[in-house]
Structure 1
Amino acid sequence: MTADPETTLRADARRNRDQILAAAKSIFAVSGPEVPMEEIARAAGVGVGTLYRRFPDRDALVRAVAMDNFERVLIDARAIAAEETSSWRALERLLRQSVELQLSIQLAMVSHRALVILKSDPEVRRLRDDILAVLDEFVDGAKAEGRLRLDVGAGDIAILFATLLRQVRAKSTDVAEMAARRCVGIMIDGLSARPGTELPGRPITSHDLDPAEDHI
């Protein structure tokens, strides 16, 4: 028996798309989203024509990369919620695993065009809100467990995480990733419930966040 040509074509198209997204993620993380499309096609092992058939312009590719990252974070968050019996452990896991989020934040910070894309896209906004809803659950549960300090909110954590990641700069991607993980560890330690410096004002909630900003 021979493979169905249409099925083979769909599989090839999906593989090409995945290769392009993987290449774009790696290159965007190092050089930002303004790199030549030819460079992305070359790294993906596809022709420029194939790239443009999948993504007609740079905006479409930037959006696809951001969507893929946010979807992965949301899948991780929901899986963690289902697997963990402790909200504090769930919160820890989410923060430690969310390195995918780093690229989305860097995209928005590096390129004005990328920032406009992420701010105005309703699907990106929906995914962001869904992630924040899971984060709210983790925060409320961790406070109820007595593991998370009471004077912080989900908005505080989202802002801390975004600020931390956008500041990470290093000579190599290995050092940058290690630095990000170390800083997340320090951040988690500071969030744990124990006597410490009293914070000014009130906890910042997810509803306080401006959806036009790139906190998450």
Structure 2
Amino acid sequence: MAVEKGLRADARRNRDLIVAAAQDLFLEQGVDVPLEEVARRAGVGVGTLYRRFPDRDALLRAVGEESLRRLDDLAEAAWREEPDAWHALCRFLRGSVELRLGVLPAKLEPHLHQGMRAGADLHEIRQRVIAGVQRMTEQAQADGALRADIGPGDIALLMTLQVYTPAGMHNEQAMGRVVEIVLDGLRADGGSPLPGTPLDEDDLHHYTAVRLPPAQ
């Protein structure tokens, strides 16, 4: 996890624990969960939490940034460790859904979400994720494994797939089934033609672009 420079080892550990606890609780209960509950889950005092994160927005930004960094790590590991681009793409999409990337943005106030995405320090990592998605998509198609009517922008949409879990069904089971159905549909020998045209590189950049409100 990337952290603020100059933190002592104990302060760094506390920060990491807080961000991890916040991520879990925001996904489980929503972004309005009491920060005291975040501190309890992290095993730190409330004062420690507020020293690192003066308000809820600061903590939300840290959680969002950490999710993006984990996504970048996931893309790099999949490309490096899998035998080919198709298996890398499958691993990447499975991991993206496990990270529940679409849940947190859906719970955020839109202006805060855009502000989080506008951070200059995240531009480089965002560009690496975009490049990784393009690389996996193009190579999997060149290998004949990924259907031709899919573009990298389509993959970006699937990265934020949310799965509703019915009462009584384990969340991981539901997500796993849906992801495998999606992956089967991405195969080169997949079923019915898709409506419209593939979402291409321009759509991928548009999907990840930051659109801030006009200055007053």
> What range is the shorter-chain TM-score in?
0.7 to 0.9
- Assess if the C-alpha contact under 8 Å between 2:21 and 2:42 holds in 1: yes
RMSD across aligned positions (CA): 2.2
Superposition deviation, residue 93 in structure 1: 0.9
The match for 2:31 is: 33
Q: How many residues align?
A: 201
1:6-85 aligned within 5 A: 10-85=8-83
Aligned partners of 1:69 and 1:100 also within 8 Å: no
**Partner residue, 1:203:** 198
Map Cα deviations across residues 159-210 of structure 1 (whole Å, 9 max, x no partner). Answer: 1332x32x434447x7222212211111110000015322233210242133
Going from structure 1 to structure 2, the CA distance change for 1:132 and 1:100 (only over 3 Å counts) comes to: farther
The 1:206/1:176 distance shift into structure 2, 3 A limit, reads farther
Residue 148 of structure 1: which of 136, 146, 149 is its match?
146
- Which residue of the other structure, out of 82, 106, 109, is the alignment partner of 2:106? 109
How does the TM-score come out when normalised to structure 1?
Answer: 0.84
Work out whether residues 59 and 117 of structure 1, in 8 Å CA contact, stay in contact via their aligned partners in 2.
Answer: no
For 1:161 and 1:82, locate their aligned partners in 2 and report how far apart those are by CA, in whole Å: 19
Which of the residues 155, 180, 188 maps onto 2:183?
188
Q: In 2, distance between residues paired with 1:125 and 1:108?
A: 18
Cα distance between partner residues in 2 of 1:36 and 1:116: 23
**Using the alignment, how far apart are the partners of 1:126 and 1:109 within structure 2?**
24
Corresponding residue for residue 132 of structure 1: 130
Secondary structure, counterpart of 1:98 in structure 2: helix
Q: 2:97, 2:159 within 8 Å by CA — same for their partners in 1?
A: no
Contact 1:161 1:184 in 2 (8 A): no
In the superposition, relative to structure 1, how do residues 171 and 24 fare at CA in structure 2: closer, same or farther (>3 Å)? Answer: farther
Distance 1:67 1:57 in 2: 16
Distance 1:137 1:143, change over 3 A: same
Letter in 1 for 2:164: V
Could you report, residue by residue, the CA deviation over 1:81-118 in whole angstroms, capped at 9, with x for unpaired residues?
A: 1223411111011111224541x421110121642433
Match of 2:174 in 1: 179
Looking at structure 2, the residues matched to 190 and 182 of structure 1 have their Cα atoms a distance apart, in angstroms, of: 13
Given residue 184 of structure 1, which amino acid in structure 2 is its aligned partner? Answer: V
Higher helix share: 1
Distance 2:74 2:190 in 1: 31
Whole-Å separation in 2 of the counterparts to 1:152 and 1:100: 22
Q: For the Cα contact (< 8 Å) 1:41–1:51, is it kept in 2?
A: yes
- Alignment TM-score, normalising by the size of structure 2: 0.84
Structure 1 residue 67, shift from structure 2 partner: 1.0
Letter in 2 for 1:66: G
Which position in structure 2 is the counterpart of 1:4?
none
CA distance, structure 2, for counterparts of residue 68 and residue 195 of structure 1 = 34
Indicate the larger mover: 69-78 or 192-201.
192-201
C-alpha distance in 2, partners of 1:27/1:171? 19
Identity of aligned residues (%): 44
- Structure 1: gaps (5+ residues): 1-8
State the distance in 2 between where 1:45 and 1:195 align: 48
Moved more, 197-206 or 109-118: 109-118
